[in-house]
């Protein structure tokens, strides 16, 4: 590899004004398996591909609930993600304790953004080697944010990070206009289809390697709205969804069936 | 003299033999890659505007704000590395709050610029940190009114508070631009980021720095700001325009920093696009 | 002449004898506020079907001296809530400044003018902003924290506004961090004198939900009058605020109307009368 004088630490600018250490940290995100997030007017979903180190090992968790109304999907160094996840949990809990409400998602995301930025400006620190998709619901409705090791945070309609995530993003861009009005189940299926785009040839979605997470705003009969707490689904709970996108039938038959099963695992 | 290969550019706070800090110059390069930001100091307030390049189609439109409120009467916009900008904002908010705690009065724009200039400069002094990869434009409206001492009991004496001279005007709109070196100047029209050259050329054509002070009103400045950012914009990329303004207590924002109302922004953008097209036809 | 700084502004030892500087000593037990100094009396509030009415008089007493007669003890928060302060006035001012900072924090995230002396814009409740219930929770934590540090803020405050379900909200927190909620609330003397009157009109939440705005305002004004009759630390000038979904209507210089002191003739047992 070409030797670069400006890439030894995160406190040195290159002559072009770049910080290579931060850019390298962004590469670590691309090493992680892919995660996808999509937000509609009523729901936000996270879906992820889990990897196992070897045949007999367990699969690495990709979705982490933070609070009742927020969860993250991670790509990159899991241990860094756990540090951020613990921090986010504390922030949410603290906010709940002092104000008696759930923390606004943007506020939460900006706090970890600032935390990450510090690591890019001081010698002896290193940037976080993880990217996050933060999904949550607050008074403004469902949100999806992307977090990068640089400390950059942006609200997205839909996004994918991790290995080969470009394919998933292409799918999302192609369908971006549909998401806003999708219902819960349609949104999950869009997420899984985007995920499939990023799979290596002859790999498939299975109940072992797929995680699905959903949160949303549910309209009650009296017109008031309630938050559907973030729920992560694994194993047999995702069977129906995987099957529903198996031969990529665009919202084809079996919708009702899937929905019914989806609701069942809910209770 | 070139910087690369001399070894003087490998760490912050190092002077080269001709007295330059290359790391600060490289930080300026980071600013020059960022979307254009401008600020206009008008007769009756300050207008801030930024060109937000749309880096992905998946970004939620108009959700990611770049101009921040630092105190009620203060706004900041910046070009360059956005996480650095957010850190700068946080520090500015802390400064504004600390000022209120100590002096029981809002911080003046000039004082905030001074504090933040000092903060930026401190990041050029040590090898253990790097300079900020941003240039920030600070706009504010210092209240011209007799502001009550925060939480004072009763109405106090009817005559003027300490330091104010009868017949002399106090407060008003102010604009400062702070560079990665910590250097800052006051401006009538400030521009930074990728399109700063074109933007500066346009700003200089406006009636801002005359002997009687700026003749431009805020509403005119909003339209000019939109036009200037369209002129300074590199055509093939999509962008969002974000604009905020701060008037005096008797103006549209009542002394506070606010986003320019949607209707006015859209009108300004329509005029800007129209001006662009007319120029193309020529 | 003693020119040491600690002697500045002090009585001369050669004239008045040795100065008792014991209170300047930093050793010994740490002491904090032991009692309020300049105080405001009752705050009263009652819910009605579309919101809350809250009032407090404009007096700050120094013991039994009516020291300041134009002190505003109601403050709006984000144009959506009102906080009424009873108790120590300097602690009220501290809380006022603190709430100002909290309101500025809110303005970072939301493009809405937060109220205060500097900017005033009648905006309704905005999604994502701290509502009265959130504000009350916060104040409760703050007050409890201070009492646990043995340095209480010597106030009892009422918070009026709306909760997350957009229902009228009214709650109190005192210097011990005790919280309380009810369709009508009163602090200080008001708890004895005004509360029974307000309960006649809104004993339950259901009663309060039937009260009209005018009825609620009238009850509060009547209570303010009773308080002025019977509370020697009260004043006939007062502030009253009506909190509705449309915002806060605050008038800070109201005068008690139609007073009738005829009842005073019949009072026996104090003053110059001999039974």
A1 pLDDT tier (thresholds 50, 70, 90): low
Average pLDDT value over all residues in chain A: 90
B149 pLDDT tier (thresholds 50, 70, 90): low
Cβ atoms < 10 Å from Cβ of B144:
15
CB contacts of B132 in chain A (<8 Å) are: 121
pLDDT in tens, A148-170: 999 999 999 999 999 999 999 99
Per the CB < 8 Å rule, is A113 touching B83?
Answer: yes
C5 pLDDT tier (thresholds 50, 70, 90): confident
Give pLDDT, residue C145. 97
Give pLDDT, residue C274. 65
Cβ atoms of A215 and A72 closer than 8 Å = no
Q: Tell me whether residue C150 is exposed, middle or buried, using C-beta atoms within 10 angstroms of its C-beta: 0 to 12, 13 to 18, 19 or more.
A: exposed
Does B163 score more than 60 pLDDT? no
Which residues, including other chains, have CB under 8 Å from residue C182's CB and lie 6 or more apart?
Answer: C170
State how far the alpha carbon of B244 is from the alpha carbons of A147, A234, B105, B261, C250, in Å.
26, 46, 23, 9, 30
Which residues, including other chains, have CB under 8 Å from residue C69's CB and lie 6 or more apart?
Answer: B154, C58, C59, C60, C235, C237
Over residues A179-185, mean pLDDT: 95
* Percentage above 70 pLDDT, chain B: 91
More confident residue, A226 or C153: C153
Active-site residue among C31, C33, C76, C187?
C33
Does B153 score more than 60 pLDDT? no
- Which subunits sit against C, judged by 3+ Cβ pairs under 8 A? A, B
Buried b (16+ CB within 10 A) or exposed e, C225-235: bbbbbebebbb
User: Of B168, B202, B173, which is closest to residue B186 (Cα–Cα)?
Assistant: B173
Cβ atoms of A111 and A100 closer than 8 Å = no
User: Is C31 marked active-site?
Assistant: no
Residue pairs between chains B and C whose CB atoms are closer than 8 Å: 63
Instruction: Considering only the beta carbons, identify the residue of A18, A123, A173 that sits closest to B129.
Output: A123
A116 touches chain B (CB under 8 A): yes
Give pLDDT, residue B234. 83
Residues 11 to 30 of B: which have CB under 8 A from any A CB? Answer: 11-12, 22-23, 26-30
pLDDT in tens, B23-51: 999 999 999 999 999 999 999 999 999 99
Over residues C195-204, mean pLDDT: 96
B165 pLDDT tier (thresholds 50, 70, 90): low
DSSP annotation of C18 reads: S
Over residues C202-225, mean pLDDT: 96
User: CA A21, A70, A72 angle in degrees (round to 5)?
Assistant: 35
Cα(first)–Cα(last) distance of chain A, in Å? 54
C120 pLDDT tier (thresholds 50, 70, 90): very low
Helices of type H across C42-194:
89-109, 132-148, 189-193
Residues 120 to 149 of C: which have CB under 8 A from any A CB? Answer: 127-128, 130, 133-134, 137-138, 141
Q: Which residue bears the tokens 């995987």?
A: A242
3-state secondary structure at position A136: strand
Structure tokens of C10?
């002090």
Helices of type H across chain B:
22-32, 82-103, 109-122, 196-205, 218-232, 262-281
CB contacts of C100 in chain B (<8 Å) are: 100, 150
Substitution target in C81, C99, C125, C137 with the highest count of A β-carbons within 10 Å is: C137
pLDDT in tens, A63-116: 999 999 999 999 999 999 999 999 999 999 999 999 999 999 999 999 999 999
B152 pLDDT tier (thresholds 50, 70, 90): low
* Percentage above 90 pLDDT, chain C: 72
C108 touches chain A (CB under 8 A): no
Instruction: Considering only the beta carbons, identify the residue of A101, A138, A140 that sits closest to C134.
Output: A101
Give pLDDT, residue C60. 95
Does B177 score more than 80 pLDDT? yes
* Percentage above 70 pLDDT, chain C: 91
Over residues A215-241, mean pLDDT: 89
CB contacts of A5 in chain B (<8 Å) are: 10
Give pLDDT, residue B66. 95
Average pLDDT value over all residues in chain C: 88
Give pLDDT, residue C32. 74
B179 touches chain A (CB under 8 A): no
DSSP annotation of C240 reads: E
Does A204 score more than 60 pLDDT? yes
Does A179 score more than 60 pLDDT? yes
Closest residue, chain B, to C60 (C-alpha): B153
More confident residue, C82 or C32: C82
- Which subunits sit against B, judged by 3+ Cβ pairs under 8 A? A, C
State how far the alpha carbon of B75 is from the alpha carbons of B63, B222, B269, in Å.
18, 15, 21
Structure tokens of B13?
């706070």
Task: Bin B167: left if φ > 0, else alpha if -120 < ψ < 50, else beta.
Answer: left
Over residues C146-173, mean pLDDT: 95
Cβ atoms of C243 and C82 closer than 8 Å = yes
Does C76 score more than 70 pLDDT? yes
pLDDT in tens, A116-147: 999 999 999 999 999 999 999 998 899 999 99
pLDDT in tens, C8-56: 777 777 888 887 777 777 787 777 778 999 999 999 999 999 999 999 9
Give pLDDT, residue C28. 77
Instruction: Considering only the beta carbons, identify the residue of C68, C92, C97 that sits closest to B150.
Output: C97
Average pLDDT value over all residues in chain B: 90
Does A254 score more than 50 pLDDT? no
C97 touches chain B (CB under 8 A): yes
Give pLDDT, residue C13. 79
DSSP annotation of C266 reads: G
Cβ atoms of A241 and A212 closer than 8 Å = yes
DSSP annotation of C16 reads: H
Over residues B15-29, mean pLDDT: 94
Per the CB < 8 Å rule, is B153 touching C121?
Answer: no
Over residues C132-149, mean pLDDT: 97
Substitution target in B150, B152, B156, B248 with the highest count of C β-carbons within 10 Å is: B150
CB contacts of B59 in chain A (<8 Å) are: 154-157
Does C231 score more than 80 pLDDT? yes
Integer Cα distance of A246 and A212 in angstroms? 15
C119 pLDDT tier (thresholds 50, 70, 90): very low
Per the CB < 8 Å rule, is C104 touching B72?
Answer: yes
Integer Cα distance of A97 and C142 in angstroms? 12
Does C6 score more than 80 pLDDT? no
Cβ atoms < 10 Å from Cβ of B61:
10
pLDDT in tens, A8-42: 899 999 999 999 999 999 999 999 999 999 999 99
Task: Give the predicted TM-score (pTM) of the model.
Answer: 0.89
Cβ atoms < 10 Å from Cβ of C139:
24
Cα(first)–Cα(last) distance of chain C, in Å? 60
Alpha carbon dihedral A246, A247, A248, A254, in 10-degree steps, equals: -70
User: Of C265, C220, C248, C1, which is closest to residue C103 (Cα–Cα)?
Assistant: C248
Residues 121 to 180 of B: which have CB under 8 A from any C CB? Answer: 143, 147-148, 150-151, 153-155
């Amino acid at each position: 590899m070409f030797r670069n004088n400006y890439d030894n630490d995160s406190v040195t600018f290159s002559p072009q004004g770049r910080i290579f250490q931060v850019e390298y940290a962004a590469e670590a995100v691309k090493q992680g398996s892919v995660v996808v997030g999509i937000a509609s007017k009523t729901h936000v979903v996270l879906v992820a591909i889990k990897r196992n180190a070897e045949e007999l090992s367990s699969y690495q968790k990709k979705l982490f609930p933070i609070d009742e109304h927020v969860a993250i999907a991670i790509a990159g160094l899991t241990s860094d993600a756990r540090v951020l996840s613990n921090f986010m949990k504390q922030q949410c809990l603290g906010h709940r304790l002092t104000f008696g409400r759930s923390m606004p998602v943007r506020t939460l995301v900006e706090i970890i953004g600032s935390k990450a930025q510090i690591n890019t400006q001081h010698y002896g620190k290193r940037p976080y080697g993880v990217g996050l998709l933060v999904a949550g619901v607050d008074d403004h409705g469902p949100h999806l944010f992307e977090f990068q090791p640089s400390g950059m945070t942006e609200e997205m309609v839909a996004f994918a990070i991790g290995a080969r995530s470009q394919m998933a993003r292409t799918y999302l861009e192609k369908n971006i206009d549909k998401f806003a009005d999708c219902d819960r189940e349609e949104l999950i299926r869009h997420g899984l289809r985007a995920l499939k785009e990023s799979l290596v040839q002859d790999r498939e979605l299975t109940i072992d390697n797929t995680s699905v997470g959903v949160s949303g705003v549910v309209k009650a009969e009296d017109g008031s709205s309630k938050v559907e707490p973030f729920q992560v689904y694994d194993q047999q709970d995702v069977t129906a969804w995987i099957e529903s996108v198996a031969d990529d039938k665009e919202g084809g038959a079996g919708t009702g069936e899937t929905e019914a099963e989806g609701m069942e695992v809910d209770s | 003299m070139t910087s690369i290969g001399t070894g003087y550019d490998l760490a912050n706070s190092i002077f080269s033999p001709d007295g330059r800090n290359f790391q600060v110059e490289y930080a300026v390069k980071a600013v020059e890659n960022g979307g254009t930001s401008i600020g206009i100091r008008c007769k009756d307030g300050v207008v801030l505007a930024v060109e937000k390049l749309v880096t992905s189609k998946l970004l939620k439109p108009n959700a990611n704000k770049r101009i921040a409120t630092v105190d009620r009467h203060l706004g900041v916009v910046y070009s360059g590395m956005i996480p650095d900008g957010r850190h700068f904002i946080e520090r500015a908010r802390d400064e504004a709050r600390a000022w209120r705690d100590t002096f029981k009065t809002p911080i003046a724009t000039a004082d905030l610029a001074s504090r933040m200039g000092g903060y930026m400069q401190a990041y050029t002094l040590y090898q253990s940190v790097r300079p900020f990869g941003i240039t920030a434009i600070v706009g504010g409206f210092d209240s011209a009114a007799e502001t009550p001492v925060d939480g004072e009991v009763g109405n106090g004496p009817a005559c003027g508070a300490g330091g104010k001279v009868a017949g002399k005007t106090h407060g008003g709109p102010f604009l400062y631009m702070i560079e990665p070196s910590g250097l800052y100047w006051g401006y009538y029209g400030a521009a930074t980021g990728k399109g700063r050259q074109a933007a500066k050329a346009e700003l200089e054509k406006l009636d801002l720095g005359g002997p009687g002070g700026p003749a431009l009103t805020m509403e005119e400045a909003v339209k000019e700001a939109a036009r200037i950012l369209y002129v300074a914009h590199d055509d093939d990329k999509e962008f969002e325009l974000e604009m905020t303004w701060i008037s005096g207590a008797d103006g549209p924002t009542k002394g506070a920093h606010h986003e320019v109302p949607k209707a006015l922004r859209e009108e300004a953008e329509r005029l800007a696009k129209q001006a662009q097209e007319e120029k193309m036809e020529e | 002449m003693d020119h040491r700084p600690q002697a500045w502004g002090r009585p001369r030892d050669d004239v008045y004898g040795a100065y008792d500087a014991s209170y300047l000593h930093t050793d010994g037990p740490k002491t904090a506020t032991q009692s309020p100094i300049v105080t405001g009396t009752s705050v009263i509030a009652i819910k009605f079907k579309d919101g809350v009415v809250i009032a407090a008089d404009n007096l700050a007493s120094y013991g039994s001296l009516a020291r300041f007669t134009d002190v505003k003890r109601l403050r709006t928060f984000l144009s959506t809530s009102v906080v009424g302060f009873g108790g120590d006035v300097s602690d009220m001012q501290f809380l006022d400044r603190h709430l100002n900072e909290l309101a500025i924090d809110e303005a970072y995230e939301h493009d809405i003018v937060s109220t205060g002396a500097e900017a005033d814009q009648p905006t309704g409740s905005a999604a994502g902003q701290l509502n009265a219930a959130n504000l009350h929770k916060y104040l409760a934590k703050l007050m409890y924290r201070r009492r646990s540090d043995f340095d209480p803020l010597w106030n009892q405050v009422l918070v009026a506004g709306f909760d997350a379900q957009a229902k009228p909200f009214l709650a109190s927190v005192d210097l011990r961090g005790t919280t309380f909620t009810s369709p009508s609330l009163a602090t200080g003397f008001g708890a004895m004198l005004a509360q029974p009157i307000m309960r006649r009109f809104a004993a339950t939440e259901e009663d309060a939900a039937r009260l009209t705005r005018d009825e609620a305002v009238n009850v509060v004004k009547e209570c303010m009058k009773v308080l002025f009759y019977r509370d020697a630390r009260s004043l006939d000038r007062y502030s009253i605020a009506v909190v509705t979904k449309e915002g806060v209507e605050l008038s800070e210089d109201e005068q008690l109307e139609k007073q009738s002191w005829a009842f005073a003739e019949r009072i026996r047992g104090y003053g110059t009368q001999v039974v």
